[in-house]
Structure 1
Amino acid sequence: MTTEAHPVHEVARFHDDALSVSAGGFSLDLTVKQIEGTWDALSHFPDRRARMELGALAERLNAFAAHVVATIERGGNLDASAEVERFAVRHVSMTRRAWAMDSRCMSWFVVGPARFPVDRNRKRMDWAENAFRALGEHVKAARASVERTAFPHGAPGEPIRASNPDAPALIRAEIEKHRASHALMKAANAAIRSARGKDVDTKVQAVVDATGWREATARRCVVPPQKWMGAGFAAYQLSGELAEIKRLEDRLATIERNRERGTVEREHNTAAGRLRVVENGEAARIQLFFDGKPAAEVRDTLKREGFRWAPSEGAWQRHLNNGGRYAVSRVVSALQPAGA
């Protein structure tokens, strides 16, 4: 088995029963002979399993490297070498752990049914399955981390994030776009009504004159693909544009209000110790800071209220809005000292 990849993306190569990995400052060389003993008790052909595992590892490493390169090509700001090296170090370690878990498992087809430890083997098989499942979860989490690093304020085409420094300007541009769209939809309907009773070509020309659209676009408006739709734009389409404009205006107002307030801090004495609450208008997050790692039951309470741990901030946080403020009040109430 040979894993081929574009040279730019290739950090791992499996050829002639040998895997070679080179990712930044990390390197690894493994052969089928070195690891095939892992599956002696699980397969009559452990060398085949070893080839499959080394090939699969090479594919995952190369696929992640390709994802990093593609993210940069989309305009992401990344240190490709550092990202790929970080992933390779962790993923190889997790893969070898999964292999070690597999090495403790047995198949009675291979070792024989006599005195076979059914219950113990079942537990070990479950542990190994969880270790291999973790590999897929690591790939998914690492890709998401790359996206967050490359596009801290959202990738092109994604919804505008409140934390984006240019969010107000971007939202205003969206509002204007929807207003222009709504105005053109009304103009097209008015043009169709003005040409009532005339032939289709006359109606199409009237829409072109009123909107500046190309003839093909105007014709689709006058003669829709589905007969039941009727000519022009329905009332629900016009009201939908207005609703979207209202939603964007409300969001813009919230973002500007939060930024005008700036950073607001307050402290609470709780059963979990000192709790500092920060309304971070620039990051558009409401953040909770504890003096140390909260107990498991406190962390469960935070998660139930929608807070997630942000290692880069050293805080538990969620979006800054009225819902977030209400969630803080619930957390503070739940962490009141006994007798308070």
Structure 2
Amino acid sequence: MYYTINESIARTAQELNSFSDYKAGSATAEYRAEVDKAAALVERKKATISPFYHEKLDYLLDRYAKKLAEYYNAYYRNEASCPSILISGGSNFPVNKKRKQNARRDTLQQEYQNVQGILHKIESIGTGPIDFADPHAREMLQQRVDDAKANHKRMKDANAWYRKLGTLEGCPGLTDKEKAWLTRPGVFAVGRGTPLELYRQPFPSYELQNSNATIKRYQDRLDAYEAQRNRSAAPTDFEGGQIVRNTELNRLQILFDEKPDEETRAKLKANGFRWSPRNQAWQRQLTSAAEAAARAVIG
């Protein structure tokens, strides 16, 4: 998981820019500490998302470790390219070289931010739309529908409780945070200014409407998954090849008997298809748009 940090260059960089002695292995230790934090993040993510995404997390972690090592080595090379004026003194100081070094520092800072961006990708894995190719896709989609419906019922029950009893005391389903917000004075210019006085119920109508929209969105996604799985898996033959609907990989694949000519390859790329060496097929995500794109390619 770790990549090599050039300790010799790191030592030189320290000696040319500081009066303090270089501690052997400190550059490597600093690098590894950052990689360890990223590895801990990956393990936390793995504990909360489908195993389907674990391989991608491992790939991103390795990429982070590699790119971070490249950054550190480039940083130390740049720092070793010109001494500090405090170390060398002002006589015959290489001003132009220092100017280039400073410009490179700005570039390296941006490169470091790009490397840290990989951590943001790691954090986002598994938070977007569920990939239909995930073996656990159906149960996760159903769980989202069930959770959305349960949350909607919770809000309706809380509103019914308040309409009947006129109090939040003992109201089921309300969190302490929600109660604190609903009874917070001075928020609006109505009565004491509490949200509860404005809405006249714990959850306003627009929240219930948004909740219904969320349920519909998740249900539509589940229905689309079921429709895809029920679609005929039989390949469609055409002159020179066939179209395969690979529901396991969630890919529409075009297989040619022979390597397509340059014009056909250009059409494939223009219609969103990419060559997969692993599957030996031109493919894109399995959608109705992909079906139309395949027809555009093969006529």
Write the deviation string for residues 96-119 of structure 1: whole angstroms up to 9, x where unpaired. 456667878999x86557xx79xx
| Equivalent position of 1:7 in the other structure | none
Which stretches in structure 1 are left out of the alignment for 5+ residues? 1-10, 12-22, 40-44, 149-153
Shift of 1:256: 1.5
* Amino-acid identity (%): 19
Secondary structure of 1:163's counterpart equals: coil
More strand by percentage: 1
CA RMSD in angstroms comes to 5.7
Query: Once the two structures are superposed, what CA deviation does each residue of 1:154-191 show, in whole Å capped at 9, x if it has no partner?
Result: 54x66533232122122222222222332333333334
Residue 160 (structure 1) aligns with: 130
Paired residue type of 2:7: L
Give the Å deviation of 1:259.
Answer: 2.1
Residue matched to 2:114:
137
Q: Check 1:137–1:57 CA distance in 2 against 1; reply closer, same or farther (3 A cut).
A: farther
Distance 2:79 2:181 in 1: 62
Rounded Cα–Cα distance in structure 2 between residues aligned with 1:82 and 1:218: 40
Q: Which runs of 5+ in 2 are unaligned?
A: 85-89, 185-193
Distance 2:111 2:242 in 1: 34
Contact 1:204 1:218 in 2 (8 A): no
Deviations along 1:242-265, whole A, 9 cap, x unmatched? 211111111111112222336565
Higher RCO structure (Cα 8 Å, ≥6 apart): 2
Name the aligned partner's letter for residue 64 of structure 1: V
Determine the structure 1 residue equivalent to 2:223.
Answer: 253
Letter of the 1:137 counterpart: N
Q: Counterpart of 2:249?
A: 283
Q: Say which of 142, 151, 154 aligns to 1:172.
A: 142
Matches within 5 A, 1:1-340: 23=2, 30-31=7-8, 35-36=12-13, 46-48=16-18, 58-75=29-46, 91-92=68-69, 95-96=72-73, 133-134=110-111, 136-138=113-115, 140-141=117-118, 144=121, 155=126, 160-195=130-165, 200=166, 203-204=167-168, 208=171, 212-213=172-173, 225-226=194-195, 227-261=197-231, 278-286=244-252, 298=266, 302=269, 319-326=285-292, 332=297
TM-superposed CA distance for 1:319, in Å, is: 4.0
Letter in 2 for 1:61: R
Deviations 1:26-54 (A, max 9, x none): 66662358644xx9xxxxx73449979x9
Q: TM-score, normalised by structure 2?
A: 0.58
Over 3 Å counting, the alpha-carbon distance change for 1:132 and 1:258 in structure 2 is: same
* Aligned mates of 1:84, 1:220 — CA distance in 2: 40
* Structure 2 Cα separation of the partners of residues 316 and 286 of structure 1: 8
Assess if the C-alpha contact under 8 Å between 2:246 and 2:252 holds in 1. yes
> 167-176 or 97-106: which moved more?
97-106
Amino acid aligned to 2:248: E
Shift in CA distance, 89/192, structure 1 to aligned 2, threshold 3 Å: closer
Aligned residues: 272
Structure 2 distance, partners of 1:106, 1:222, is 61
